[in-house]
Amino acid sequence: MGYIVNTIIVALIIWFFIQRSMPAKGVDHIDANELKKMIKNKQYQLIDVRTPQEFTIDKIKGFKNIPLMELNNRLGELNKNKNIVLLCRSGARSNRAAKMLKKRGFTKLTNVRGGIVNYPK
């Protein structure tokens, strides 16, 4: 009986991590090279969801810092009618941010796969 319970627990943990790492559905996903091409376009809201410390160390001009942990409380700073481009260090937090915003009714979302570490300098 203990083996079955342990197997179920391990399966649930694996499922949880797979769900968190899957690309957000209904969200565009671009790489850092594509971001470089579109960064000067004023039709996008550029949001970096890293911590303020990370943002201070390495940032891309034009991005506004709204840390992932503050995103729910700062939704009023975002325009639902403009495409929101989300960036973090590796793409994982920005993917979570995209999922979060999608649940809150935002439909024009773009996640930068690979994050700022892959952004060409």
Tens digits of per-residue pLDDT, 65-100? 999 999 999 999 999 999 999 999 999 999 999 999
Task: Give first-to-last CA distance, the chain, whole Å.
Answer: 56
pTM of the model: 0.82
pLDDT at 35 > cutoff 90? yes
Q: How many domains does the chain have?
A: 1
Q: Look up the CATH number of the domain holding residue 72.
A: 3.40.250.10
pLDDT band at 9 (very low <50, low <70, confident <90, very high): confident
Pairwise CA distance, residues 119 & 82, whole Å: 23
CB 113 within 8 A of CB 91: yes
**Containing domain of residue 113, as a range?**
2-118
CA distances (Å), origin 74, targets 37, 41, 68, 79, 100: 27, 23, 10, 11, 12
